[in-house]
Every structure is written in structure tokens, then in C-alpha cells.
């Protein structure tokens, strides 16, 4: 039966109480067993030994000797058992209370986390490696949940912001067309198409990064030469680079091994990195795409380095997060969805590789490295 509303839920005995009761029963059982054995087995054994040793001239002396044994045995056993029971009970009470407090602390902290307070942390209780591991695991869980919640809130806020501009533009032009203020000429049609393409690209990008991070993207793996990947990527952006006045340089080392990968997906990664470099490199700057053998593994390192704006140190750890922007205004102005780097990282990791970003600082350019294992 459920408790009435407003009435506190009744709880049974806590873990500490149950543990104390269980340990007390074990101690009492052990003490009672020792007492019964000593009272029933001890006298008969003592009598047999007296008989074998011919101790006592008369039966009265034998009885007196046995009574003395029983009295001494009862007194010493009682004192020993009571002392052991007292010490054991004290230790049990101490341990049970400490365990109870530790469990209660974690339970209260879990309730706080369930209520959305992810900054709560618990201290190691010092009751052994298992309890310390429990506290550490709880703290890691709370921290992870807090990070996920912050990302979720930022994602929803940024997603709303990304959609607001094209939706508002579409709505304004549709109202203007309905009111006869604007006409559906070629320029208006192209503007409407560009806004719908922006929404479609945003939707596609979100779907891509979600499927990739969940391991639902199918990879068409085959042996590919790194040089062909770079050549295809460069050819796809060469015209745009030339138009913006940014120099694009390739540097491909000789003798690179073939890689087992999906050329379309890795081409998408290189395209995202080249687009990102172009957005952040002013006219007259240089972007270099290179391929070398990995010194740590037998794989290949693909790099995209630019001489552009650079990335401040405090932003480096976040550049691959969804919708994260170092310069939000500039990215929106150039139509980026804000998740191109997140897609790139997810696709590289789906190939068993690694994508990293480095930068000396603001105004000193940045370098993105793709480390791919050998096929």
C-alpha cells in the first residue's frame, strides 16, 4: 500500500542496524556454543583424566576436585566470554555506524544528483578499497552527468539560435510575399533556398554526428592510398580557396602505406577541416595539408595546418564539442553549423583513429592532426 500524500515513507531497519543485529547473533551463538561445550564436555573429560591418573584417595576428594574445576572453568570462561563479547560489540557498533553513515552519505548524495544537483561530491570513507572505489565512482558519475547536462543545455540553446535566423528570414519573406510587399523574383527565391538549405544542412549534420557517436554509421572499408585522399580533398576546395585569396599547399611524404578506411567518410573529415581552416584564415594566409608516417605507430598522420586566427589555450579542450565556438559571431556569419569538427572527430574515431587540435595561441594558427592506423 502506498503512503498517503504528505506522509513520510516508513523505512525498515537501516543497513547499520541490520548488520549490528546479525553480528550480535553470531557473537551470542558463538559464546553460547562455547559455554555448552565447556559445561557438558569438559567435566567428563576431566573426570576420565582423574581416574586414569588415580588422583584422589576418596570419592569425596574426587568430587571436590571436579567441583573446583567446574567453578574455575565457569568463572574463567564467563569472564573471557563477557570481555570478548563487550569488545566485539563495541567494535561492531563502531563499524556498523561508520558503514551506515557512509551509505547514508552516498544515498543522500544520490538523491541530490537525482534532483539535478550534479556538483555534489562524497569523500572516501576510509573503510577499504571497495568503499573508496564506490565513492570515486559516484563522484565520476556525478561529474559526467553534470557535463552531459551542461552540454545538453548548451546544445538546445545553440540549436535554437541556429534555427532562429533562417526560420525568421523565411517567415519574414513569406509574410512579405503574402502582403504583396515583395515579389518572388530570382533573388528572393535564391535567398529562400539558401535558408532552407541551411536548415537541411543543420538537420543532416546533427543526424550524422549522432549516428556516428552511437556507432551506427556503416563504413565502406577498402585499401586507399593517402595521396589520393588528399588530392581529392584539395580538388574539392581549390576554387573556393583561390576565390578567398588563401594559399593551399600539399605536402605528401613518399612511401606511405595503404590504409583500410572509408574514403568517402575520411574525405568528409578532410573537407570539414579544410573548410574550418579557410573560415579562420584571412586572405594572404596559407593552409597546408600533409601526410606523413606516424612515429609512434605504423599508420599515417594527416595534418591540416593554417596560419590563421589560432585557438586560445582555454578553448582547445572544447573545439570538438557540438556547437562550441571560439568566435561565435564569425562562424554564424559564415554559415557554419557548429558541429563540423564534432562530426570529423566521431568519424575518425569510428575508423579506430584519433583527431587532435593544437595551437600556439591567438593569431598564431592551428593544426589538426588525424592519426589513422595502418590497414
pLDDT in tens, 142-158: 888 887 777 677 667 76
H or E stretch covering 68: helix 59-114
What residues contact 291, with CB distance under 8 A and at least 6 apart? Answer: 226, 227, 229, 230, 251, 252, 253, 256, 300, 301, 302, 303
Strand (E) or helix (H) holding 247:
strand 247-252
Contact predicate 42/73, CB 8 Å = yes
DSSP-assigned states of every residue in 256-291: PPPEEE-HHHHHHHHHHHHHHHHHTS-TT-EEEEEE
Residues 111 and 185 in one domain: no
**Residue 328 pLDDT:** 47
What is the tens place of the pLDDT at every residue in 273-307? 999 899 899 999 999 999 999 877 778 999 999 99
Q: What average pLDDT score do residues 31-44 get?
A: 69
Q: What mean pLDDT do residues 345-361 have?
A: 90
Q: Is there a single domain that holds both residue 230 and residue 199?
A: no
In this structure, are 319 and 348 located in the same domain?
Answer: yes
**Shared-domain flag, residues 201 and 228:** no
User: Does some domain include residue 235?
Assistant: yes
pLDDT of 155-189, one tens digit each?
677 667 667 777 888 888 888 888 888 788 888 88
Residue of 53 and 243 predicted with greater confidence? 243
Asked if the model's pLDDT at residue 262 lies above 50, the reply is yes
Give the three cell numbers for residue 105.
552519505
Q: 239 and 359 in one domain?
A: yes
Lowest mean pLDDT segment, chosen from 74-88, 190-204, 304-318: 74-88
- Predicted pLDDT of residue 244: 92
CATH of the domain at 261: 3.30.565.10
Of 67-71, 186-190, 197-201, 244-248, the one with minimum mean pLDDT is 67-71
Q: Print the domain residue range for 177.
A: 151-213
Rounded Cα distance, 265 and 232, in Å: 12
Q: What size, in residues, is the chain?
A: 375
Q: Provide the pLDDT confidence category of residue 10 given band limits of 50, 70 and 90.
A: very low
What whole-number distance in Å separates Cα of residue 179 and Cα of residue 317?
A: 49
Same domain, residue pair 24 and 105: yes
Position 229 scores a pLDDT of 92
Q: Are residues 182 and 306 in the same domain?
A: no
Mean local confidence (pLDDT), 210-224: 77
Please report where in the chains the cell 562524497 appears, as a residue. 122
How far does Cα 26 stand from its chain's mean position?
Answer: 43
Residue 199 makes CB contacts below 8 A (sequence gap 6+) with 163, 166, 167
d(CA 27, CA 34): 11
State yes or no: pLDDT of 9 exceeds 60: no
What is the count of structural domains for the chain? Answer: 3
Residue that is written with C-alpha cell 576554387 in the block: 239
Query: Do residues 355 and 368 make contact, with C-beta atoms less than 8 angstroms apart?
Result: yes
Looking at the fold, whether 293 and 241 belong to one and the same domain comes out as: yes
Three-state DSSP class for residue 322 = coil
C-alpha cell at 23: 553480528
Give the mean model confidence (pLDDT) for residues 56-85.
68
Bigger pLDDT: 324 vs 196: 196
Q: Tell me, what DSSP letter sits at residue 363?
A: T
Burial 65-77 (b: 16+ CB within 10 A, else e): ebeeeeeeeeeeb
Quote the pTM value: 0.54
pLDDT at 349 over 60: yes
The H-assigned helical ranges of the chain are: 15-40, 42-53, 59-114, 129-179, 186-213, 226-244, 263-279, 313-316, 328-333, 340-350
Q: What is the pLDDT of residue 361?
A: 85
Query: Residue 89 CB: number of other CB atoms within 10 A?
Result: 15
In angstroms, the CA 201 to CA 186 distance is 22
pLDDT of residue 292: 94
Chain centre to alpha carbon of residue 226: 33
Provide the mean pLDDT of the chain.
Answer: 78
79 in any annotated domain: yes
Quick check: is 281 in a domain? yes
203 plus 157 within the same structural domain:
yes
Question: Are 236 and 109 in the same domain?
Answer: no
Q: Is the pLDDT of residue 49 over 80?
A: no
- Please report the pLDDT score of residue 253 as a whole number: 92
Amino acid at each position: 500500500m502506498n503512503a498517503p500524500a504528505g506522509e513520510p515513507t516508513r523505512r525498515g531497519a537501516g543497513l547499520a542496524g541490520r548488520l549490528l543485529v546479525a553480528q550480535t547473533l553470531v557473537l551470542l551463538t558463538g559464546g553460547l556454543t562455547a559455554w555448552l561445550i565447556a559445561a557438558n564436555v569438559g567435566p567428563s573429560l576431566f573426570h576420565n583424566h582423574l581416574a586414569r591418573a588415580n588422583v584422589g584417595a576418596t570419592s569425596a576428594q574426587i568430587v571436590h576436585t571436579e567441583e573446583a574445576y567446574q567453578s574455575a572453568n565457569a568463572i574463567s570462561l564467563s569472564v573471557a566470554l563477557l570481555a570478548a563479547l563487550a569488545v566485539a560489540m563495541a567494535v561492531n557498533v563502531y563499524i556498523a555506524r561508520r558503514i551506515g553513515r557512509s551509505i547514508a552519505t552516498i544515498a543522500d548524495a544520490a538523491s541530490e544528483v537525482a534532483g539535478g544537483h550534479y556538483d555534489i561530491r562524497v569523500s572516501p570513507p576510509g573503510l577499504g578499497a571497495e568503499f573508496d572505489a564506490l565513492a570515486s565512482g559516484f563522484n565520476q558519475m556525478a561529474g559526467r552527468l553534470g557535463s552531459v547536462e551542461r552540454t545538453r543545455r548548451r546544445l538546445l540553446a545553440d540549436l535554437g539560435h541556429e534555427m532562429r535566423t533562417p526560420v525568421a528570414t523565411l517567415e519574414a519573406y513569406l509574410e512579405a510575399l503574402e502582403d504583396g510587399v515583395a515579389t518572388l523574383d530570382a533573388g528572393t527565391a535564391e535567398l529562400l533556398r539558401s535558408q532552407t538549405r541551411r536548415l537541411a544542412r543543420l538537420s543532416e549534420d546533427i543526424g550524422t554526428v549522432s549516428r556516428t557517436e552511437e556507432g551506427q554509421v556503416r563504413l565502406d572499408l577498402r585499401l586507399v592510398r593517402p595521396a589520393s585522399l588528399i588530392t581529392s580533398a584539395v580538388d574539392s576546395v581549390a576554387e573556393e580557396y583561390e576565390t578567398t585569396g588563401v594559399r593551399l599547399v600539399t605536402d605528401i611524404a613518399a612511401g606511405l602505406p595503404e590504409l583500410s578506411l572509408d574514403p568517402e567518410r575520411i574525405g568528409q573529415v578532410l573537407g570539414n577541416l579544410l573548410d574550418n581552416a579557410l573560415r579562420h584564415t584571412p586572405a594572404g594566409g596559407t593552409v597546408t595539408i600533409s601526410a606523413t608516417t606516424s612515429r609512434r605507430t605504423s599508420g599515417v598522420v594527416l595534418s591540416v595546418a593554417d596560419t590563421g586566427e589560432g585557438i586560445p589555450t582555454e578553448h582547445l579542450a572544447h573545439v570538438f564539442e557540438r556547437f562550441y565556438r571560439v568566435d561565435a559571431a564569425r562562424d554564424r556569419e559564415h554559415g557554419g553549423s557548429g558541429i563540423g569538427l564534432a562530426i570529423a572527430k566521431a568519424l575518425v574515431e569510428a575508423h579506430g583513429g584519433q583527431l587532435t587540435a593544437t595551437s600556439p595561441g591567438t593569431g598564431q594558427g592551428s593544426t589538426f592532426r588525424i592519426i589513422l592506423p595502418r590497414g
